[in-house]
C-alpha cells in the first residue's frame, strides 16, 4: 500500500513543477515606448519579447492563425527604430491580441538587443542624476 503511494510521489511532484513553471520562453518587456503597424494601422504594444507581442486592439479585426506583416516602432533616447517582421495571431481576448513572431534572423535579434540596451543605459543615467 505505501509502495504505491510513494511511487506516485515523483509523478505528482513533476506535475506540480510543470504547472508552476512559466510557459514563456522569453521574458516579456512592458516598459518600452513602442507601437506596431499592422496593415497601415497603429496599435499600442502592451508587452513584447523575442517570441512575440501583446497589443491592444479590437479582436474582431483579426483572425486566429492569421499571418501579419508587422513593424515594431521603438522610441529610443536618440532615434526612432523601426523593425519590420512577420507574426501570426495566436490569441485573442477582449481588446487584446497575442502575436507570435516568425523565427528571428540575427539582424532583428541585434535590433531587439539595441532596444534593451538603450532602456538599460537610460535607467542607469536616470539613477545617476540628482
* Residue 115 placed within a domain: yes
Q: In the structure, what pLDDT confidence band is assigned to residue 99 with cuts at 50, 70 and 90?
A: very high
CATH (domain of 56): 2.40.10.220
Give the chain's mean pLDDT. Answer: 85
* pTM assigned to the model: 0.76
In a domain, 57, yes or no: yes
Choice among 11-15, 62-66, 104-108 with the minimum mean pLDDT: 11-15
Is residue 9 assigned to a domain? no
Domain for residue 65, yes or no?
yes
Q: In terms of residue numbers, what domain contains 116?
A: 25-128
Asked if the model's pLDDT at residue 48 lies above 70, the reply is: yes
In a domain, residue 1? The reply is no
Does residue 18 lie within any of the structural domains? no
How many separate domains does the chain show? 1
CA angle 111, 62, 49 (to 5 degrees): 25
Residues 54, 35 contacting (CB under 8 angstroms): no
Amino acid at each position: 500500500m505505501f509502495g504505491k503511494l510513494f511511487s506516485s510521489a515523483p509523478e505528482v511532484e513533476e506535475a506540480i513543477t510543470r504547472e508552476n513553471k512559466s510557459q514563456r520562453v522569453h521574458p516579456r518587456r512592458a516598459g518600452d515606448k513602442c507601437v506596431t503597424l499592422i496593415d497601415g494601422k497603429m496599435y499600442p504594444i502592451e508587452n513584447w519579447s523575442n517570441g512575440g507581442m501583446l497589443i491592444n486592439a479590437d479582436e474582431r479585426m483579426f483572425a486566429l492563425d492569421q499571418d501579419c506583416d508587422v513593424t515594431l516602432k521603438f522610441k529610443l533616447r536618440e532615434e526612432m527604430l523601426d523593425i519590420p517582421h512577420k507574426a501570426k495571431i495566436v490569441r485573442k481576448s477582449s481588446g487584446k491580441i497575442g502575436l507570435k513572431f516568425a523565427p528571428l534572423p540575427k539582424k532583428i535579434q541585434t535590433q531587439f538587443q539595441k532596444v534593451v540596451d538603450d532602456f538599460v543605459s537610460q535607467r542607469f543615467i536616470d539613477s545617476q542624476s540628482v
